[in-house]
Structure 1
Amino acid sequence: MTHSAPSTPAPADLRPHLTPPARAWLDQSLAEAAQGITPTTELRLAEAARRCGPPHADTVRILILQAAHPTPADLTRVYHRGTADERRAVLHALPHLVPGPEALPLIEDALRTNDTRLLTAALGPYAARHLSAHLWRHAILKCLFTGVPVSGVAQLATRAHGDAELARMLADFAAERTAAGRPVPEDLHHVLALTDPEAVPPHPVHEDGVPHGKES
């Protein structure tokens, strides 16, 4: 199953999907978060699933983090103190909260885990923008090794295009699997095709999904 980044609507868009008690809790949590990251804010992140229901919890956590305008240091503290769900919310929120590479240590930490949902969250737009080519290539191989669908990797086609080193690593990985009598993941063939320098380069895509040069 693909665990893609949750959509992040405005609070007004989310409220109709919540019960009245959940809406009141969300309003209070956002007002508290506007004062910055505090122990109360961290408690609200932990309560999100219980208060608003699991289907909305990821989005609620991201909204709370955005309302708090945290610094990279704040996000690092929340990430390392939090559960896997809270860590995932921090990773999903990074593109909206940290313009520079300061939060890359959080991406790198998530990529060292074997939690497939954290791996997926780590390879969102923030990693696409800031992760080094070396670490990004190894992250793609880890996706293939752990069964994380590469369809959840942000800017996959753009970053893989013409990457001869990634193509070499994929070919080596496929050869090792074949020699061991193990199947080669179908996603590997997909990524390998993307590395072809003769393929038409993809249009770089904004985080809102609109290709550069194709805005209306």
Structure 2
Amino acid sequence: MNHLHNAAASPTASSPAPPTEAVAALHARLNSQLDATARAWLDSALDEAAAHPGTHGPISVWELRIAEAGRRCGPEHADTARVLLLHAARADADTLARVYRQGTAAERRAVLHALPHLVPGPDALPIIEDALRTNDTRLLAAAVGPYAARHLDAHNWRHAVLKCLFTGVPIDAVAELPRRARGDFELARMLGDYADERSAAGRPVPEDLYRVLALTEPGSDVPTASAPRHPGTPSGKES
């Protein structure tokens, strides 16, 4: 679901689109992909979320629609539909934390995608930190999106990058990677140590590691496929 990240912020853009514009773009894109029945359901669910954004009883009315989104819109469109529902419900950090805590893995992923649209400050970082503790690669990929790029501190962001390499999450999932990695000598040291450990164990070093390592050079800008290898490491790609 890279379009969810890209609609919120692009590593190469001068500034991210305002959340309302990004969400409008998501809605227009999704409408173009849904059939008439699914569009009607989504419009009704969004109206319901906008009209009843708070909690009514043990569960919010719109939270029921969050659970239905995969069945109504199709699993390939569920993330986007859920982000739109969360935005229509004006979910704040506490509400998002509750939906994340009570949700399925797919619903948690949608919450992670929704964060940059709904939470301007660092209040939702506990959600990101929880997702980064998992080994679910789809959650990890969502957790290293624009919200983490803006608010995650340097120590935890570096470890998030290393975890992506360790679990096989492509580094292209890491939002604003060139900006945050540029001149980060501590990240370069950690990458070198990780490469040395894998090399000593006779295991291949992920190609993505060299791309990130190249970005840590001062003045670097974009990942390069021909980045220099860490001294002493063998060639080969992660299988």
TM interval, shorter chain, is 0.7 to 0.9
Task: Name the residue aligned to 1:101.
Answer: 122
Q: Do the aligned partners of residues 159 and 177 (structure 1) sit closer, same or farther apart at CA in structure 2, a change above 3 Å counting?
A: same
Task: Name the residue aligned to 1:158.
Answer: 179
Measured after TM superposition, the shift of residue 174 of structure 1 is: 0.3
Is 1:101–1:130's contact at 8 Å kept on the other side of the alignment?
yes
Residue 53 of structure 2 is aligned to residue 36 of structure 1: yes
Report the Cα distance in structure 1 between the residues aligned to 2:79 and 2:189, rounded to whole angstroms. 37
Matched position secondary structure for 1:55: coil
Instruction: Give matches, 1:200-215, under 5 Å.
Output: 200=220
* Letter matched to residue 152 of structure 1: A
Report the Cα distance in structure 1 between the residues aligned to 2:188 and 2:154, rounded to whole angstroms. 13
Is 1:4–1:120's contact at 8 Å kept on the other side of the alignment?
no
Report the Cα distance in structure 2 between the residues aligned to 1:15 and 1:4, rounded to whole angstroms. 17
Q: Do the aligned partners of residues 138 and 13 (structure 1) sit closer, same or farther apart at CA in structure 2, a change above 3 Å counting?
A: closer
Is 1:29–1:64's contact at 8 Å kept on the other side of the alignment?
yes
Task: Name the residue aligned to 1:70.
Answer: 91
Deviations 1:113-150 (A, max 9, x none): 00000001000110000000000000011011000000
TM-score (norm 1): 0.87
Report the Cα distance in structure 2 between the residues aligned to 1:13 and 1:5, rounded to whole angstroms. 10
TM-score (norm 2): 0.79
Residue 135 of structure 2 is aligned to residue 114 of structure 1: yes
Task: Name the residue aligned to 2:192.
Answer: 171
Measured after TM superposition, the shift of residue 57 of structure 1 is: 1.1
Task: Name the residue aligned to 1:83.
Answer: 104
Measured after TM superposition, the shift of residue 5 of structure 1 is: 4.7
Residue 64 of structure 2 is aligned to residue 15 of structure 1: no
Task: Name the residue aligned to 2:233.
Answer: none
Measured after TM superposition, the shift of residue 21 of structure 1 is: 2.0
Report the Cα distance in structure 2 between the residues aligned to 1:111 and 1:10, rounded to whole angstroms. 25
Report the Cα distance in structure 1 between the residues aligned to 2:88 and 2:102, rounded to whole angstroms. 19
* Letter matched to residue 131 of structure 2: A
Is 1:91–1:106's contact at 8 Å kept on the other side of the alignment?
yes
Is 2:45–2:85's contact at 8 Å kept on the other side of the alignment?
yes
Matched position secondary structure for 2:212: helix
Report the Cα distance in structure 2 between the residues aligned to 1:14 and 1:37, rounded to whole angstroms. 25
Q: Do the aligned partners of residues 13 and 192 (structure 1) sit closer, same or farther apart at CA in structure 2, a change above 3 Å counting?
A: closer
* Letter matched to residue 163 of structure 1: D
Matched position secondary structure for 1:41: helix
Report the Cα distance in structure 1 between the residues aligned to 2:199 and 2:205, rounded to whole angstroms. 7
The unaligned stretches of length 5 or more in structure 2 are 8-22, 223-239
Deviations 1:161-191 (A, max 9, x none): 0001000000000000000000000000110
* Letter matched to residue 47 of structure 2: A
Is 2:49–2:89's contact at 8 Å kept on the other side of the alignment?
yes
Is 2:137–2:167's contact at 8 Å kept on the other side of the alignment?
yes
Matched position secondary structure for 1:54: coil
The unaligned stretches of length 5 or more in structure 1 are 203-216
Measured after TM superposition, the shift of residue 12 of structure 1 is: 4.5
Is 1:30–1:67's contact at 8 Å kept on the other side of the alignment?
yes
Task: Name the residue aligned to 2:228.
Answer: none
Query: Identity of aligned pairs, percent?
Result: 66
* Letter matched to residue 156 of structure 2: L
